[in-house]
Structure 1
Amino acid sequence: MAEPLLSVRDLVKTFAGRRGRTGRPGAPVRAVDGVSFDLGAGETLGLVGESGCGKSTTGRMIVRLLDPTSGTVTFDGTEIGGLSQARLRPHRRHLQMVFQDPYSSLNPRQTVARIISEPLLVQGAGAEEARQRAGELMELVGLIPEHLDRYPHEFSGGQAQRIGIARSLATSPKLVIADEPVSALDVSVQAQVVNLMEQLQQELGLAYVFIAHDLSVVKRVCDRVAVMYLGRIVEIGDKAQVYGNPAHPYTRALLSAVPLPDPAAERARERIVLLGDPPSPADPPAGCGFHPRCPKAQQRCRTERPLLEVVGTGGRQAACHFPEVQGVS
């Protein structure tokens, strides 16, 4: 079996609590709490969950925009989580990120040529070589190379996100972390950008970690899906398993909210409504973090934290004392 391109083990990120009026620091916030997964070359893993569950923080730690509090990130055989910035630089060309809001992630004072070519310049490429590559990338993502000297505000939202994608491809990466790459776009434009990302993956052999809250988009683009809640992965497995027979009650609740194309099926199905809001990561509940909102919670759930374990067949894992999988009680 081939070694994974990316291997994340027991990743933790704790932020200092905000200081109150007395000046005393608040309780620390454990935004990511022991996340582990593997990703193969050319594969797409969807990372989904409600806002604040830690999925974006996980993505930022993988590319080292944030340093992990603990845990390891092994990329292409090298543990990069603890590398200095100087030693990390050679690996950055193969590990890039696309951000949610294209306008806030593009420097409004720089031309598109400069924005796209900047990663190459950082890696030591010459100005002429970098500009030529920027033109090639503009064409690759469906934009006009002659517009290289324009500024971000001269492009639509979908075009600006294509520029962000082009920038991420400048150094020919092996892995791209896509953090909500279409959530800020109109629905029709979302489909175009998703089509582009799928096309680029096929042409360039890219691997993606696709962070999103839209489960219909994730179902389309991902090979496997990891569901996060309160900083932890509660279910991870093949897309067909997770969508067809979810094991964790939280996954079932999320999927019950995804609209169905058949109106009759939409009216007939049962919606699972979760009561209350997710607990604060600064004050997580004992036992299973989901138990205050879980319709199946029992006494064991309130006192014992479930481990992420294989349930059923096919290697799918769930962190639940009472997973709802055929053949598992």
Structure 2
Amino acid sequence: MTTATERTSESPPLLAVRDLTTTFPARRRGSAPVRAVDGISFDVAEGETLGLVGESGCGKSTTGRTIVRLLEPTTGSVSYDGRDISRLSQRALRPLRRELQMVFQDPHSSLNPRQTVARIISDPLLVQGSSATDARKRALELMELVGLIPEHSDRYPHEFSGGQAQRVGIARALATGPRLVVADEPVSALDVSVQAQIVNLMERLQRELGLAYLFIAHDLSVVKRVCDRVAVMYLGRIVEIGAKERVYAAPAHPYTRALLSAVPLPDPAAERARERITLLGDPPSPAAPPPGCTFHPRCHKAQDICRTEAPVLRIGTPGEAREVACHFPEEAP
């Protein structure tokens, strides 16, 4: 059955995540395992940008790392270009890593401090079997593509600013010619002015190279700028997913409304006039989630059914390009 999260095109999605669960074992005897990702499903189409948003600790980064198999999924499946990659051996997965790459949150900690940037960028090509000469030539081309000076290719990461180091990370991700890039909060560690430069760079690269992005972030203003669709996560589950315009204009889940109410508005009068929603308490521990809807302890709309029955993602209004997991969603205007 076609859902609101699926594209209208007949072609299958580039990335299809189905009932994905990632569980970490208990750290101490007698404690419960942590279900960081709890049965989520979504698609990313060719050339699309899907934003994955939520509070810190909701499972966004774990989702991204599981998709590229830096973490192993517990249950569920991840299909890339119609092929299930969630159970492939590392040897079988290696050729596919050309097309599936990741950009990390902290640019400096994700780069080897003992290697030059030319070697860092060319490493994925060397692993894939390219010669050292060809790999270095490609590294210099990529440095120019992302706005770096090729003459700086023999410098080390500590000699670059945060924004420049993130450009190195992006160049490394592009080295093998990927079709899908998982960007794990790629601008959150950067100054605001540098954030705009990196966002502009990623948008330009998407247009020129036809990339698809899974853009993981907690800054909803950045997500609004770069994404086509938005998926909102809370405690390991997706609670709302849909077209960016619908989610931002008329959020259906109380959690989405609270997140959007915290985004500053550039108009001081509008900022003073709007309703600010303050959530009570902290998110529950994923090792001991509450029964029913996991958001109900912090939700002003919670009723008895919310405390006993977990809602499932469903289309709120017939024909609407948005799904919400809530027993009492906001009515669409």
Is TM (by shorter chain) over 0.5? yes
Write the letter of the residue equivalent to 1:322: F
Matched, 1:12 2:21: yes
Match of 1:288 in 2: 293
What's the offset of the Cα at 1:314? 2.3
The 1-side partners of 2:111 and 2:74 are apart by: 28
Match of 2:325 in 1: 319
The 2-side partners of 1:255 and 1:95 are apart by: 31
| Worse-matched range after superposition: 301-310 or 24-33 | 24-33
Give identity over the alignment, percent.
Answer: 78
Asked whether the 8 Å contact 1:16–1:26 carries over to 2, the reply is no
Cα shift readout 1:76-126 (whole Å, capped 9, x = no counterpart): 111000000000001000000000000000000000011000000000000
Match of 2:172 in 1: 167
Match of 2:121 in 1: 116
Match of 1:261 in 2: 266
User: Gaps spanning 5+ residues in structure 1: where?
Assistant: none
For residue 8 of structure 1, give the secondary structure of its aligned residue in structure 2. Answer: strand
Match of 2:130 in 1: 125
Write the letter of the residue equivalent to 1:14: T
Any residues of structure 2 matched to 1:16-35 within 5 Å, and which?
Answer: 16-19=25-28, 24-35=29-40
Asked whether the 8 Å contact 1:16–1:25 carries over to 2, the reply is no
Matched, 1:66 2:71: yes
For residue 224 of structure 2, give the secondary structure of its aligned residue in structure 1. Answer: helix
Query: For 1:207, which of 188, 199, 212 is the aligned residue?
Result: 212
The 1-side partners of 2:332 and 2:119 are apart by: 54
Match of 1:190 in 2: 195
What's the offset of the Cα at 1:198? 0.2
TM-score, normalised relative to structure 2: 0.96
Cα shift readout 1:5-47 (whole Å, capped 9, x = no counterpart): 000000001101111xxxx242100000001000100000000
Matched, 1:143 2:145: no
What's the offset of the Cα at 1:325? 2.4
For residue 302 of structure 2, give the secondary structure of its aligned residue in structure 1. Answer: coil
The 2-side partners of 1:146 and 1:64 are apart by: 34
How many pairs are equivalent? 323
| Structure 1 outlier segments of 4+, above 2 Å | none
The 2-side partners of 1:18 and 1:7 are apart by: 31
TM-score, normalised relative to structure 1: 0.97
The 2-side partners of 1:4 and 1:80 are apart by: 14
Cα shift readout 1:241-271 (whole Å, capped 9, x = no counterpart): 0000000000000000000011000000010
For residue 21 of structure 2, give the secondary structure of its aligned residue in structure 1. Answer: strand
User: Gaps spanning 5+ residues in structure 2: where?
Assistant: 1-9
For residue 221 of structure 2, give the secondary structure of its aligned residue in structure 1. Answer: helix
